[in-house]
Structure 1
Amino acid sequence: MDLQLEIIGKPISEVELGFTATIRIGSPIEYELQVEGEISVRTAEGRLVSAPSNSYVEIRGELESIVGSKVVRADASEVDGLSIELSSGAVLNVPVDEHYEAWGIVGLNGYRVICLPGGELAIWSAREGKSS
Protein backbone atom coordinates (compact mmCIF):
# COMPACT_ATOMS: atom_id res chain seq x y z
CA MET A 1 0.00 0.00 0.00
CA ASP A 2 1.17 3.51 -0.81
CA LEU A 3 -0.21 6.55 0.99
CA GLN A 4 0.17 10.29 0.55
CA LEU A 5 0.38 11.95 3.98
CA GLU A 6 -1.75 14.97 4.96
CA ILE A 7 1.23 17.26 5.63
CA ILE A 8 1.80 18.68 2.13
CA GLY A 9 2.17 22.46 2.16
CA LYS A 10 2.96 22.55 5.88
CA PRO A 11 6.24 24.01 7.19
CA ILE A 12 8.71 22.13 9.37
CA SER A 13 8.49 24.01 12.68
CA GLU A 14 10.87 22.18 15.03
CA VAL A 15 13.32 19.31 15.20
CA GLU A 16 14.09 17.68 18.55
CA LEU A 17 16.67 14.92 18.85
CA GLY A 18 17.04 12.29 21.57
CA PHE A 19 16.22 8.58 21.54
CA THR A 20 13.86 9.53 18.70
CA ALA A 21 14.00 12.22 16.05
CA THR A 22 10.88 14.33 16.56
CA ILE A 23 9.85 16.61 13.70
CA ARG A 24 6.97 19.01 14.37
CA ILE A 25 5.04 20.19 11.34
CA GLY A 26 2.70 23.14 10.80
CA SER A 27 2.49 26.69 12.06
CA PRO A 28 0.98 26.48 14.58
CA ILE A 29 2.11 22.88 15.06
CA GLU A 30 -0.48 20.42 13.70
CA TYR A 31 1.51 17.19 13.30
CA GLU A 32 4.35 15.38 15.02
CA LEU A 33 6.55 12.87 13.22
CA GLN A 34 8.47 10.44 15.47
CA VAL A 35 11.33 8.59 13.80
CA GLU A 36 12.61 5.57 15.70
CA GLY A 37 14.48 3.82 12.88
CA GLU A 38 17.28 4.70 10.52
CA ILE A 39 16.92 8.10 8.83
CA SER A 40 18.71 9.58 5.84
CA VAL A 41 18.76 13.16 4.67
CA ARG A 42 19.70 14.35 1.20
CA THR A 43 20.54 17.98 1.86
CA ALA A 44 19.54 20.87 -0.38
CA GLU A 45 23.15 20.79 -1.65
CA GLY A 46 22.79 17.10 -2.60
CA ARG A 47 24.93 15.59 0.17
CA LEU A 48 23.55 12.33 1.62
CA VAL A 49 23.90 11.64 5.35
CA SER A 50 22.26 9.00 7.53
CA ALA A 51 22.01 7.92 11.13
CA PRO A 52 20.87 4.69 12.75
CA SER A 53 18.28 4.57 15.51
CA ASN A 54 19.36 6.42 18.68
CA SER A 55 22.23 8.23 16.88
CA TYR A 56 20.31 11.14 15.36
CA VAL A 57 22.60 13.75 16.94
CA GLU A 58 25.27 12.61 14.45
CA ILE A 59 23.32 14.46 11.74
CA ARG A 60 21.90 17.24 13.95
CA GLY A 61 22.95 20.03 11.59
CA GLU A 62 21.37 18.44 8.55
CA LEU A 63 18.13 17.70 10.41
CA GLU A 64 17.93 21.17 11.96
CA SER A 65 18.55 22.75 8.53
CA ILE A 66 15.08 21.61 7.37
CA VAL A 67 13.28 23.91 9.84
CA GLY A 68 11.32 26.51 7.86
CA SER A 69 11.07 24.40 4.70
CA LYS A 70 7.62 23.38 3.49
CA VAL A 71 6.62 19.81 2.68
CA VAL A 72 6.10 19.44 -1.09
CA ARG A 73 5.71 15.63 -1.17
CA ALA A 74 5.12 13.11 1.62
CA ASP A 75 4.67 9.46 0.70
CA ALA A 76 4.51 6.34 2.86
CA SER A 77 5.02 2.90 1.36
CA GLU A 78 4.87 -0.53 2.97
CA VAL A 79 7.90 -1.47 0.84
CA ASP A 80 10.01 1.71 0.62
CA GLY A 81 9.14 3.43 3.92
CA LEU A 82 8.67 7.16 4.36
CA SER A 83 9.86 9.82 1.90
CA ILE A 84 9.40 13.56 2.48
CA GLU A 85 10.54 16.17 -0.06
CA LEU A 86 10.93 19.75 1.11
CA SER A 87 10.79 23.14 -0.60
CA SER A 88 14.50 23.64 0.16
CA GLY A 89 15.34 20.64 -2.02
CA ALA A 90 16.15 18.42 0.97
CA VAL A 91 14.66 14.91 1.15
CA LEU A 92 14.10 12.76 4.27
CA ASN A 93 13.85 8.98 4.01
CA VAL A 94 13.02 6.44 6.71
CA PRO A 95 13.16 2.85 5.48
CA VAL A 96 10.96 0.04 6.78
CA ASP A 97 12.40 -1.87 9.75
CA GLU A 98 11.74 -5.60 9.90
CA HIS A 99 11.66 -5.70 13.72
CA TYR A 100 10.51 -2.29 14.99
CA GLU A 101 8.12 0.57 14.26
CA ALA A 102 10.34 2.79 12.10
CA TRP A 103 8.21 5.94 12.25
CA GLY A 104 4.82 7.34 13.12
CA ILE A 105 2.97 10.59 12.53
CA VAL A 106 0.10 11.96 14.57
CA GLY A 107 -2.08 15.01 14.01
CA LEU A 108 -3.98 17.07 16.56
CA ASN A 109 -7.22 16.02 14.85
CA GLY A 110 -6.68 12.31 15.55
CA TYR A 111 -4.99 11.50 12.23
CA ARG A 112 -2.31 8.87 12.78
CA VAL A 113 -0.13 6.66 10.59
CA ILE A 114 2.33 4.17 12.08
CA CYS A 115 4.83 2.07 10.13
CA LEU A 116 4.63 -1.31 11.88
CA PRO A 117 7.49 -3.84 11.92
CA GLY A 118 7.88 -5.20 8.40
CA GLY A 119 6.32 -2.12 6.79
CA GLU A 120 2.55 -2.52 7.19
CA LEU A 121 0.87 0.86 7.72
CA ALA A 122 -1.65 1.28 10.54
CA ILE A 123 -3.90 4.25 9.72
CA TRP A 124 -6.39 6.19 11.85
CA SER A 125 -8.48 8.84 10.10
CA ALA A 126 -8.96 12.35 11.41
CA ARG A 127 -11.95 13.02 13.66
CA GLU A 128 -14.68 15.25 12.25
CA GLY A 129 -14.88 17.70 15.15
CA LYS A 130 -12.54 18.54 17.95
CA SER A 131 -13.56 17.49 21.41
CA SER A 132 -12.78 19.74 24.34
Structure 2
Amino acid sequence: MDLGLKGKRLQSVLIDYTLRLQLSDVYFIVIESPFNLDFEGRYVSLSPEEDADEDFEPIRLLVGRTVEEATADESGTLRIRFSDGTLLRVPPDEAYEAWNVSGPDGALVVSTPGGKLATWTARPES
Protein backbone atom coordinates (compact mmCIF):
# COMPACT_ATOMS: atom_id res chain seq x y z
CA MET A 1 0.00 0.00 0.00
CA ASP A 2 1.37 3.38 -1.01
CA LEU A 3 1.02 5.74 1.96
CA GLY A 4 1.01 8.92 -0.16
CA LEU A 5 4.10 10.46 1.43
CA LYS A 6 6.26 10.82 -1.70
CA GLY A 7 7.63 14.35 -1.87
CA LYS A 8 6.92 15.15 1.79
CA ARG A 9 9.89 16.67 3.65
CA LEU A 10 10.90 15.60 7.15
CA GLN A 11 10.58 18.73 9.28
CA SER A 12 11.24 17.52 12.83
CA VAL A 13 11.94 14.52 15.05
CA LEU A 14 10.71 13.97 18.60
CA ILE A 15 11.86 11.05 20.72
CA ASP A 16 10.01 10.31 23.95
CA TYR A 17 9.40 6.54 24.31
CA THR A 18 8.11 6.82 20.75
CA LEU A 19 9.68 8.25 17.62
CA ARG A 20 7.54 10.99 16.08
CA LEU A 21 8.45 12.26 12.62
CA GLN A 22 6.70 15.41 11.45
CA LEU A 23 6.51 15.79 7.68
CA SER A 24 5.42 18.70 5.52
CA ASP A 25 1.73 19.22 4.77
CA VAL A 26 0.65 18.04 8.27
CA TYR A 27 1.68 14.38 7.96
CA PHE A 28 3.10 12.43 10.91
CA ILE A 29 4.77 9.06 11.36
CA VAL A 30 4.75 7.64 14.90
CA ILE A 31 6.92 4.60 15.64
CA GLU A 32 6.36 2.80 18.93
CA SER A 33 8.34 -0.42 18.37
CA PRO A 34 11.89 -1.40 17.38
CA PHE A 35 12.87 -0.44 13.85
CA ASN A 36 15.82 -0.68 11.45
CA LEU A 37 17.68 2.04 9.63
CA ASP A 38 19.93 1.41 6.63
CA PHE A 39 22.03 4.49 5.88
CA GLU A 40 25.47 5.32 4.48
CA GLY A 41 26.34 1.63 4.26
CA ARG A 42 25.46 1.02 7.92
CA TYR A 43 22.58 -0.94 9.39
CA VAL A 44 21.24 0.06 12.81
CA SER A 45 18.44 -1.38 14.94
CA LEU A 46 16.83 1.04 17.40
CA SER A 47 14.04 0.94 19.95
CA PRO A 48 12.32 4.19 20.97
CA GLU A 49 11.56 2.72 24.36
CA GLU A 50 14.97 1.28 25.16
CA ASP A 51 17.78 3.09 23.33
CA ALA A 52 19.51 6.25 24.56
CA ASP A 53 18.61 9.59 23.01
CA GLU A 54 22.07 9.98 21.41
CA ASP A 55 21.61 6.68 19.51
CA PHE A 56 18.97 8.41 17.38
CA GLU A 57 21.42 10.85 15.75
CA PRO A 58 21.07 9.10 12.34
CA ILE A 59 17.33 9.86 12.45
CA ARG A 60 17.95 13.51 13.34
CA LEU A 61 20.26 13.82 10.34
CA LEU A 62 17.29 13.03 8.09
CA VAL A 63 15.59 16.35 8.92
CA GLY A 64 15.26 18.26 5.67
CA ARG A 65 15.28 15.10 3.53
CA THR A 66 12.38 14.21 1.27
CA VAL A 67 10.44 10.95 1.26
CA GLU A 68 10.97 9.11 -2.03
CA GLU A 69 8.72 6.16 -1.20
CA ALA A 70 6.56 5.10 1.76
CA THR A 71 4.73 1.79 1.77
CA ALA A 72 3.06 -0.67 4.13
CA ASP A 73 2.83 -4.31 3.11
CA GLU A 74 0.30 -7.01 3.99
CA SER A 75 2.45 -8.17 6.94
CA GLY A 76 2.17 -4.72 8.56
CA THR A 77 5.75 -3.65 7.78
CA LEU A 78 6.38 0.05 7.13
CA ARG A 79 9.13 1.02 4.67
CA ILE A 80 10.22 4.61 4.07
CA ARG A 81 12.99 5.52 1.63
CA PHE A 82 14.39 9.05 1.79
CA SER A 83 16.03 11.17 -0.92
CA ASP A 84 19.53 10.37 0.37
CA GLY A 85 18.90 6.61 0.04
CA THR A 86 18.27 5.97 3.74
CA LEU A 87 15.74 3.21 4.33
CA LEU A 88 13.68 3.06 7.53
CA ARG A 89 11.88 -0.22 8.15
CA VAL A 90 9.42 -0.94 10.98
CA PRO A 91 8.26 -4.56 11.28
CA PRO A 92 4.93 -5.37 12.94
CA ASP A 93 4.75 -6.05 16.66
CA GLU A 94 2.88 -9.08 17.97
CA ALA A 95 1.58 -7.32 21.08
CA TYR A 96 1.41 -3.58 20.28
CA GLU A 97 0.68 -1.08 17.54
CA ALA A 98 4.12 -0.80 15.92
CA TRP A 99 3.55 2.39 13.95
CA ASN A 100 1.00 4.75 12.48
CA VAL A 101 0.93 7.32 9.70
CA SER A 102 -1.53 10.18 9.90
CA GLY A 103 -2.41 12.95 7.52
CA PRO A 104 -4.62 15.97 7.34
CA ASP A 105 -8.36 15.69 7.89
CA GLY A 106 -8.19 12.39 9.78
CA ALA A 107 -6.41 10.07 7.33
CA LEU A 108 -4.75 7.29 9.37
CA VAL A 109 -3.02 3.94 8.78
CA VAL A 110 -2.10 1.82 11.82
CA SER A 111 -0.14 -1.42 12.08
CA THR A 112 -2.21 -3.13 14.77
CA PRO A 113 -0.90 -5.92 17.07
CA GLY A 114 0.11 -8.81 14.85
CA GLY A 115 0.55 -6.59 11.79
CA LYS A 116 -2.96 -6.20 10.42
CA LEU A 117 -3.44 -2.76 8.88
CA ALA A 118 -6.31 -0.53 9.99
CA THR A 119 -7.08 2.45 7.76
CA TRP A 120 -9.24 5.53 7.97
CA THR A 121 -9.63 7.83 5.00
CA ALA A 122 -9.52 11.60 5.14
CA ARG A 123 -12.78 13.38 5.92
CA PRO A 124 -14.02 15.39 2.95
CA GLU A 125 -13.81 19.15 3.30
CA SER A 126 -17.10 20.80 4.23
TM-score normalized by the length of structure 1: 0.88
Structure 1 residue 96 corresponds to structure 2 residue 84:
no
CA distance in 1, matches of 2:22, 2:33: 17
Report the counterpart of residue 6 of structure 2 in structure 1.
8
Report the counterpart of residue 24 of structure 1 in structure 2.
22
CA distance in 2, matches of 1:75, 1:63: 18
CA distance in 1, matches of 2:33, 2:10: 20
Report the counterpart of residue 30 of structure 2 in structure 1.
34
CA distance in 1, matches of 2:75, 2:54: 26
Structure 1 residue 77 corresponds to structure 2 residue 87:
no
Q: Which runs of 5+ in 1 are unaligned?
A: none
Counterpart among 38, 41, 44 of residue 46 in structure 1:
41
CA distance in 2, matches of 1:19, 1:64: 16
Note if contact 1:21-1:35 (Cα within 8 Å) is conserved in structure 2.
yes
Quickly say closer, same or farther: Cα 1:79–1:108, change in 2 above 3 A.
same
Q: C-alpha offsets along residues 58-89 of structure 1, whole Å, 9 cap, x if unaligned?
A: 53111101111110110101326000000011
Query: Could you tell me which amino acid in structure 1 is paired with residue 9 of structure 2?
Result: P
Coordinate RMSD, CA, aligned:
1.4
Counterpart among 97, 112, 117 of residue 121 in structure 1:
117
Note if contact 1:8-1:74 (Cα within 8 Å) is conserved in structure 2.
yes
The 3-state SS of whatever aligns with 1:83 is strand
**Stretches (4+) displaced over 6 A:** none
The 3-state SS of whatever aligns with 1:41 is strand
Q: Which runs of 5+ in 2 are unaligned?
A: none
